[in-house]
Amino acid sequence: MAKRKKPSPTDAFFARFSQFDYDPAAEAWLEFERMVTSPTWSIYGVEVRAARRRLIAALVAQFDLAYGTREEDKLETLQTLCGKLSLSPVPETITACKKAVRRVHVNIIDFIDSQRTGRPVRAFKTEARLRRYTGDTEKFFPKDEAKERPLLRYLLRDVV
């Protein structure tokens, strides 16, 4: 008997909403927006914000599964992060990895969700372009969550 793949934290988040026809191949943020604007969704305002926080928590759990929670000083972890950001060649030292990651501008929500979807991460040429995209899509990742995780802190940009 084949072993069943454990659902990702994001998939588990959407499983709580049985009335919603979740597409696990789609971007989590877009699925969330589709869910809260669907005719079957019956909560608004405060409840939507609470659900959005739970989605962020699921994305954070997904990131933690992929990279660990306190691995910022492990070369292998930083090199994996560089590879996921399509940095080539991948730097060979911890310091070089940290510097390289800080020069890349990606939306954190898109970055984390790409682990699940397999889609490439879109990098922006400037922080201003990332800011515009983040504002347009409303894919804001909470600063406090990013600051709690050293690897995410390297990806944190001023997008507000």
How large is the angle between the packed helices 108-117 and 75-84, nearest 10 degrees? 90
For 19-51, write each residue's pLDDT tens digit: 899 999 999 999 999 999 887 776 677 788 899
SS3 149: coil
Q: Can you give the pLDDT at residue 150?
A: 81
């940095």: which residue's tokens?
87
For 60-86, write each residue's pLDDT tens digit: 999 988 887 666 568 888 999 999 999
């660990």: which residue's tokens?
68
Q: Can you give the pLDDT at residue 73?
A: 63
CA distance 12 to 19: 14
On the question of pLDDT at 3 being above 80, the answer is: no
pTM for the full predicted model? 0.85
